[in-house]
Amino acid sequence: MITLTARVQAASDPVDEKGYGMKRVAIVYGGFSSERPVSLSSGEAVGKAAREAGYDVVMIDAGPDLAEVLLAEKPDAIVNALHGPWGEDGCVQGIFEWLKIPYSHSGVLASALAMDKIKSKIAYRQAGLDVAADKAVSRAEAAASHPLPVPYVIKPVAEGSSFGVVFVREGANSPAREVLSEDWAYSDYLMAEEYIPGRELTVAVMGDRPLAVTEITTLREFYDFSAKYEAGGSRHTVPADLPEAVTQRALADALTAHRALGCRGVSRSDFRYDEAKDRLVILETNTQPGMTPTSLVPEQAQFVGLSFADLVSWIIEDATCQR
């Protein structure tokens, strides 16, 4: 594990040109998960937009002394720009609650539930959403035999950005033996999931408002980390060219998922649409969606008429405790 110490950039003058106090906002980003590079990019973009919107911004690269730094900086609100384990799974949200500092995005329970791909699907099923068949497996079980009929996908249960995803395709003679490699960097807690063919769709929800449907296409094997975050890695079409009934179903299903998990603020749900079967399957909900230059939520916000600064301002003003 990489051990980091929280680093704080100098804050701007806390009094505006008229002499009124400015809301002091801490952008908590970086951290030490596998998604640290994405979080650094998200945090920098959010911090810049918050300054442009007139907030007094302090940038905090999250480390083991995060609580101590927050107490010293005394922010009025926190924008959580962390991604992945510790930042997205309820851990850091518990720190914010303990310190009683209003913060953005989802709370402890919703964050933990959404991060666990198996447990979140229980909530989806209960809410009436279509999900792919799945089975919890250990690394040893995934490598020993096929846990589901081929084709299927092996995923770490609690990772984001498509880290550790292994496809077992039609005609595969062996199961996912890659998970036993010495350089495997993820947990032993895996999920085998039915492979759903079709189009990759995503919908952002802002409060109680689904924004738009984006279709994601890529020349890569699938929508992996590089496709998500590298320039030219994927193409985003917003709004997606879909029958109106499918668009409305995706918007409604994203809002249903947001509510079923108890999400707050902004979330983004990912789907596969199998046109041959007219089947819309929810894959997961991201409670800390990316805010990088190539991210999907800012694109959808812009589509409905919100600038990036407007979006960031909304996220800041939405911050509360007991989320």
What residues are annotated to the active site? 35, 161, 229, 268, 270, 284, 286, 290
Instruction: Give the distance between the most distant pair of CA atoms in the chain.
Output: 71
Instruction: List, as one string, the DSSP characters of 293-313.
Output: TT-HHHHHHHHTT--HHHHHH
The 10 Å Cβ neighbour count of residue 156 is: 24
Tell me how many degrees the CA angle 76-79-81 measures, rounded to the nearest 5.
155
* Residue 123 CB-density burial (10 A; 0-12 exposed, 13-18 middle, 19+ buried): buried
Beta bridge partners of 66: none
Assess contact for 30 and 40: CB atoms under 8 A: yes
Instruction: List, as one string, the DSSP characters of 46-77.
Output: HHHHHHHTT-EEEEEE--TTHHHHHHHH--SE
Residue tagged 């720190």 (tokens): 95
For 38, 51, 90, 93, the CA distances from 111, given in Å and listed in that order, are 18, 27, 5, 8
- Residue 2 CA to residue 118 CA, distance in Å, equals 27
How many CA atoms does the CB half-sphere of 108 hold within 13 Å? 11
- Residue 212 CA to residue 205 CA, distance in Å, equals 8
Q: Three-class SS of residue 224?
A: coil
